[in-house]
């Protein structure tokens, strides 16, 4: 295609986009006029009027709707960041296990990745909730001594108590995303030349030391961009928490929308919150990326 043709295409695409946006904005305006309400956020300061099963800060149903939404946001943040940490641990160890010298370890890792990636996340969340956690006895039992207490009322890990809902969402998201991260890590490890593995092995280093000090640092530039998109996926997928009744941002927004009828404002806030969340994750990853690049270029 020559340059002037391409230029024309761009004009046509821009006009098309503007038309679509115009129609959407028009619809929005028409809807707002028809409901006779106009865009308003007063309802945010009225009492929420519903209880939340889980809230990281003090909350009761007479608190404002905005406060309830904040609780939802914090609940989302909590499960997303815990999920990112857990999924990373799982993914990095599984990815490394796939390149381990131990054939059994390699096979278990491959099985985990292959199996988990076949099954829709929603099913996995429901499994963790209904089968793994609600299936627990109501009397707490401690399979690992004082480290963890399990019951269908909640999980107590080193004295921190987690709700069954939180635990199900956390595990579901982490196990699911961990399998994808494992693939990202494996690809990263494979991008490091064979000679580097042979060199550290020849020096008598263990596989673990070689991975940490030689291979992973060189694999990071290949891993990090793909890793941040996995983190964003995890954040987006966290909205499935509603399926097991975890009071995340999406679930709380959903409730307020039903209660106030403020669907448009509710969704706008939801969109903004997720935009903010993505910016947070992206920003964090970019800082990390830059730190890694810097540490590799000067030293």
Partner 1 sequence: MSIAIHAQSISKSYSDDHRALDEVNLSVNLGEVLVVMGPSGSGKSTLIRTFNGLESIDEGRLEVVGIQLDSNQDERQIKRIRRRVGMVFQQFNLFPHLSILDNITLAPIRVKKMQKKDAELRAMSLLSQMGIADQAMKRPAQLSGGQQQRVAIARALAMDPEVMLFDEPTSALDPERVKEVLDAMRTLASAGMTMVVVTHELGFAREVADRVLFMDAGKVVELSDAKTFFSHAKEERSRRFLNQMTN
Q: The dihedral of CA 285, 87, 97, 112: what is its sign?
A: negative
Asked if 38 interacts with partner 1 (CB under 8 A), we say no
Q: Which is nearer to partner 1, 97 or 214 (CB)?
A: 214
Asked if 217 interacts with partner 1 (CB under 8 A), we say yes
Least distance in angstroms from the C-beta of 221 to partner 1: 10
Asked if 104 interacts with partner 1 (CB under 8 A), we say no
The correct pick among 20, 51, 203, 291 for binding partner 1 (CB under 8 A) is 203
Q: Give the binding range for partner 1 (CB under 8 A) out of 20-28, 113-121, 180-188, 195-203.
A: 195-203
Least distance in angstroms from the C-beta of 101 to partner 1: 6
The runs of H, that is alpha helices, within the chain are: 3-35, 65-97, 103-116, 121-126, 164-190, 194-202, 207-210, 216-237, 249-260, 263-297
Asked if 245 interacts with partner 1 (CB under 8 A), we say no
3-state secondary structure of 233: helix
Q: Which is nearer to partner 1, 205 or 263 (CB)?
A: 205
Cβ-contact 83, 173 below 8 angstroms:
yes
- Quote the tokens at residue 123: 């099913």
Least distance in angstroms from the C-beta of 188 to partner 1: 14
Least distance in angstroms from the C-beta of 223 to partner 1: 14
Angle at which helix 263-297 crosses helix 65-97, to 10 degrees, equals 40
Beta bridge partners, 149, equal 156
Asked if 106 interacts with partner 1 (CB under 8 A), we say no
Residues within window 115-174 making contact with partner 1, judged by CB under 8 A: none
Asked if 204 interacts with partner 1 (CB under 8 A), we say yes
The correct pick among 46, 117, 213, 294 for binding partner 1 (CB under 8 A) is 213
The correct pick among 125, 162, 173, 214 for binding partner 1 (CB under 8 A) is 214
Using the structure block, give the residue that is written with the tokens 């064979």.
194
Q: Give the binding range for partner 1 (CB under 8 A) out of 10-18, 64-72, 205-213, 267-275.
A: 205-213
Contacts by 64-72, CB closer than 8 A, 24 or more apart: 65/256, 65/260, 68/252, 68/255, 68/256, 69/44, 69/249, 69/252, 69/253, 69/256, 69/269, 71/247, 71/252, 72/247, 72/248, 72/249, 72/250, 72/251, 72/252, 72/253
Size of the site for partner 1 (CB under 8 A): 20
Using the structure block, give the residue that is written with the tokens 């963790």.
128
Distance CA 278, CA 238 (A): 12
Asked if 202 interacts with partner 1 (CB under 8 A), we say yes
The correct pick among 28, 199, 279, 291 for binding partner 1 (CB under 8 A) is 199
Asked if 4 interacts with partner 1 (CB under 8 A), we say no
Q: Which is nearer to partner 1, 200 or 274 (CB)?
A: 200
Nearest in space to 143 (alpha carbons), one of 157, 130, 129, 153: 157
Asked if 195 interacts with partner 1 (CB under 8 A), we say yes
Least distance in angstroms from the C-beta of 288 to partner 1: 16
3-state secondary structure of 47: strand
Residues in contact with partner 1 by CB under 8 A are: 101, 193, 195-196, 198-206, 209, 213-214, 217-218, 296, 299
């Amino acid at each position: 295609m020559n340059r002037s043709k391409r230029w024309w295409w761009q004009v046509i695409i821009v006009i098309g986009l503007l038309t679509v946006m115009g129609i959407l904005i028009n619809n929005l305006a028409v809807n707002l006029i028809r409901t006779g309400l106009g865009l308003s956020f007063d309802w945010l300061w009225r009492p929420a009027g519903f209880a939340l099963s889980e809230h990281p800060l003090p909350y009761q149903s007479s608190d404002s709707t905005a406060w309830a939404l904040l609780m939802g946001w914090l609940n989302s943040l909590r499960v997303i960041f815990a999920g990112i940490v857990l999924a990373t641990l799982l993914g990095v160890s599984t990815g490394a296990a796939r390149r381990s010298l131990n054939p059994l370890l390699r096979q278990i890792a491959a099985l985990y990745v292959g199996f988990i990636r076949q099954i829709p996340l929603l099913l996995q969340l429901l499994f963790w909730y209904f089968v793994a956690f609600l299936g627990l006895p109501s009397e707490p039992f401690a399979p690992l001594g004082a480290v963890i207490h399990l019951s269908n009322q909640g999980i107590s890990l080193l004295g921190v108590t987690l709700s069954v809902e939180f635990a199900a969402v956390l595990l579901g998201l982490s196990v699911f995303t961990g399998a994808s991260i494992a693939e990202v890590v494996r690809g990263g490890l494979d991008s490091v030349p064979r000679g580097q593995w042979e060199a550290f092995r020849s020096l008598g280093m263990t596989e673990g030391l070689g991975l940490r000090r030689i291979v992973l640092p060189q694999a990071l530039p290949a891993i990090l961009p793909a890793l941040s998109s996995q983190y964003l996926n995890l954040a987006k997928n966290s909205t499935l928490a509603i399926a097991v009744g975890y009071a995340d941002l999406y679930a709380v927004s959903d409730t307020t929308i039903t209660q106030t009828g403020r669907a448009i404002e509710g969704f706008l806030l939801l969109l903004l919150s997720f935009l903010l969340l993505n910016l947070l994750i992206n920003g964090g990853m970019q800082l990390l990326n830059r730190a890694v690049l810097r540490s590799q270029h000067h030293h």
